[in-house]
Amino acid sequence: MTSTISGTGAQHLGTANRLVLGILHSPLHFLLDPGICELAFTGHRTGRLIRLPVMYAKEGPTVVVLAGNAEAKRWWRNFRSPRPVTVTLAEQALPGTAAVIRASDPGYDEATAIYWARHPGVRLLPGDKLIRITLQEQPSCA
């Protein structure tokens, strides 16, 4: 059985997401970052821009995002195959490529370690999905 959020619950979630995104794009972003960032991508089926606040962990060019209770969410399904994203960290938009990483995939243990180093109290439950984002190298300003 798949649980979904509909009606008023979905409206409250949308309002909460907009509030968090507003804080992330304000001088108060330090209240949420590090720990929460904006993930922006174009919906695979809809072609619409999707912007979500997500908990993240970063090490080098790798960002790991957890889609907890994934069965009740749809956004992570956009990354069943690698897709372009923009991650906004500390008011800096960083392009990258995101994909769901499975327990059987190479690099899964590394991605899990990166996430747990930042969020040690979070447990991965059956059905949770990890999304690994590889950020593009940014040209240095000379």
Dump pLDDT digits (tens) for 12-22: 457 777 776 76
In a domain, 54, yes or no: yes
In a domain, 60, yes or no: yes
In a domain, 66, yes or no: yes
Q: What is the DSSP code string of the chain?
A: ------THHHHHHHHHHHHHHHHHTSTTGGGTTTTEEEEEEE-TTT--EEEEEEEEEEETTEEEEEETTGGG--GGGGGSS-EEEEEEETTEEEEEEEEEE-TTSTTHHHHHHHHHHH-TT----TT-EEEEEEEPPPPPP-
In a domain, 141, yes or no: no
- Expressed as residue numbers, the domain containing 102 is 8-135
Q: What is the pTM of this model?
A: 0.79
CATH number at 68 reads 2.30.110.10
Asked if residue 11 has pLDDT above 60, the reply is no
- Mean pLDDT over 26-49 rounds to 81
In a domain, 129, yes or no: yes
In a domain, 103, yes or no: yes
The confidence score (pLDDT) of residue 29 equals 64
Q: How confident is the model at residue 6 (pLDDT cuts 50, 70, 90)?
A: very low
Beta-carbon contacts of 75 under 8 Å, excluding residues fewer than 6 positions away, are 50, 52, 67
- Mean pLDDT over 58-68 rounds to 94
- For 69-127, how does the pLDDT look when each residue is reduced to its tens digit (9 = 90+)? 888 888 999 999 999 999 998 778 999 999 999 989 999 999 999 999 999 988 888 88
In a domain, 48, yes or no: yes
In a domain, 107, yes or no: yes
The confidence score (pLDDT) of residue 10 equals 41
Q: How many structural domains compose the chain?
A: 1
